[in-house]
Amino acid sequence: MWSAVTSSTSTRRARVAYTIALTTSSCGWGVFYSFSTRYVAVELNGGTLSMYLFTGASWLFTVFSLLAKHTTRLVGEKRALLLGLLTALPLLLSVQIREPFTVALVLATTSIPWAIAWPVVLKTVFSRADHGFGREYSSFTLFSGVGFLAGSLLAGLLYATGGVELVYAVAAVLVTTPYITYYTYYTPSSGVEEESSSRGLLGVLGVLRYTLTAVCVFVLGRELLFTQGPVKISREVEALLPGHSGWVYYLLYGLVYSGGALISPLARFLAGRLVDKYGSRSLLVSSIISYTVLYWSFTKTSGIIPLVLWQIPLFPFYDVAVNTHVARLLPSHLHIQGFAAITAFTALGGSLVTLLLFLGVEDVNIVGLLVTTTSLISTALVLYEKRALRGRVLGS
């Protein structure tokens, strides 16, 4: 009895610690992304093409998530979490560079240590689920949007106070220290002994093949929307409020760029309940279609309208849907490989954005046609998956 109470208390404490850690790292990523996108695209004059490189390379480096399973076999799941500390290196290195495309490439390497450690974090989170995967994951990520908003607002103030050096120094501290918390409050899952790496990966790919393909195609379209954001948001903010100093525009840009972070806790709470009640597939399809609608609405309006549209919190719904979808389709002993695979295919989709860099495509209508096409393909795959995988889910 006493052992059960102690275990329950320990689990609650670990959940709270992980939620605080994610909120802290989200704050760091808010500083990083809200500053870096405007800094590279606008201040260093990299433009939309530099955003193609930054976005595409960031996702390409995320393919390193496929090493997550091998890494845990070498050093153990708990120690693998500490690899996230290496995220600080490219942040500190980038302050010495001023060429926009080089800066974009260096900053993109922050994805490597994150990609290896993140599947382990997710497996740990879902291993604690006792009231539904949707509720567990939404609780873990509940304040991540608020953290991102706080970081986005902080970026301008840091830049005004200590320039680029202070911005990236603070970002480095905020994105790395949570890995110490993940390490400290790590709890191993009690499940079936894991299969060999090759057998497990083949099984994961067999079950998730439609999901992985759909995610890859969808993310290409979603990231095309995100590449349009920095220049347009900056232009509209400056047009609405002309004559202010640079740090003020960073502050305003960060506020807008954070995209509905204030209401993201409500969105994540709702997403978790919707997933547990109606299933992850329905929410996943809805969020995919919504991104396409947002693209056309955002790019075809001007003034304050696109800035308001950017605040619609679509990502929490997609994020909760796709991760709970993977957790439900796979048994717990394959979760690391499953989350690594979804991260890798997300990376593959995002990295395809670089094709537009080489082709020099910047026309919003052409890009919009690509976004619409990817949405239709990914939606069809997710809907077909239910029929195709009936009775073939691992561990069922």
pLDDT above 50: residue 133: yes
Mind listing the pLDDT tens digit for each residue in 17-56?
999 999 999 999 999 988 998 889 888 888 878 887 887 7
Q: Is residue 214 part of a domain?
A: yes
- CA nearest neighbour of 96 among 107, 86, 109, 87: 107
Mean pLDDT of 230-254: 82
Give the contacts of 8 (CB within 8 A, at least 6 positions apart): none
pLDDT at 393: 47
pLDDT above 50: residue 396: no
Choice among 37-41, 109-113, 303-307, 386-390 with the minimum mean pLDDT: 386-390
Mind listing the pLDDT tens digit for each residue in 134-150?
888 888 988 888 898 88
Higher pLDDT, 286 or 264: 286
- CA nearest neighbour of 200 among 64, 395, 65: 395
Q: Is residue 5 part of a domain?
A: no
pLDDT at 218: 95
pTM of full prediction above 0.85: no
pLDDT above 50: residue 128: yes
| pLDDT over 70 percentage in the chain | 92
Q: Predicted confidence band at 255 (pLDDT cuts at 50, 70, 90)?
A: confident
Q: Is residue 395 part of a domain?
A: no
Segments forming the whole domain that contains residue 106: 10-185+195-388
SS3 142: coil
pLDDT above 60: residue 246: yes
Choice among 110-119, 207-216, 357-366 with the minimum mean pLDDT: 357-366
Average pLDDT over the chain, rounded to an integer: 86
Q: Is residue 63 part of a domain?
A: yes
Task: Report the C-alpha gap between 68 and 80 in whole angstroms.
Answer: 8
Q: Is residue 2 part of a domain?
A: no
Mean pLDDT of 98-121: 93
SS3 content of the chain, % helix, strand, coil (to 5): 85, 0, 15
Mean pLDDT of 85-106: 92
Q: Which two tokens stand for residue 282?
A: 């329905």
Task: Report the C-alpha gap between 220 and 215 in whole angstroms.
Answer: 9
Task: Report the C-alpha gap between 228 and 353 in whole angstroms.
Answer: 12
Higher pLDDT, 356 or 303: 303
Q: Is residue 51 part of a domain?
A: yes
Q: Predicted confidence band at 2 (pLDDT cuts at 50, 70, 90)?
A: very low
pLDDT at 322: 94
Rounded to the nearest angstrom, the gap between the alpha carbon of residue 137 and the centroid of all alpha carbons in its chain is 14
pLDDT above 50: residue 117: yes
Mean pLDDT of 203-210: 86
Task: Report the C-alpha gap between 37 and 54 in whole angstroms.
Answer: 8
φ/ψ region of 192 (left if φ > 0, alpha if ψ in -120 to 50, else beta) reads beta
pLDDT above 60: residue 196: no
Mean pLDDT of 218-223: 90
pLDDT above 80: residue 325: yes
- CA nearest neighbour of 315 among 335, 338, 290, 297: 290
Contact (Cβ atoms closer than 8 angstroms) between residue 99 and residue 208: no
CATH number at residue 55: 1.20.1250.20
Q: Is residue 4 part of a domain?
A: no
Number of domain units in the chain: 1
Q: Which two tokens stand for residue 368?
A: 């919009």
Q: Is the dihedral of CA 123, 129, 134, 138 positive or negative?
A: negative
Q: What is residue 310's DSSP assignment?
A: T
Choice among 154-168, 223-237, 251-265, 310-324 with the minimum mean pLDDT: 251-265
Task: Report the C-alpha gap between 220 and 302 in whole angstroms.
Answer: 24
Q: Predicted confidence band at 395 (pLDDT cuts at 50, 70, 90)?
A: very low
Q: Is residue 246 part of a domain?
A: yes
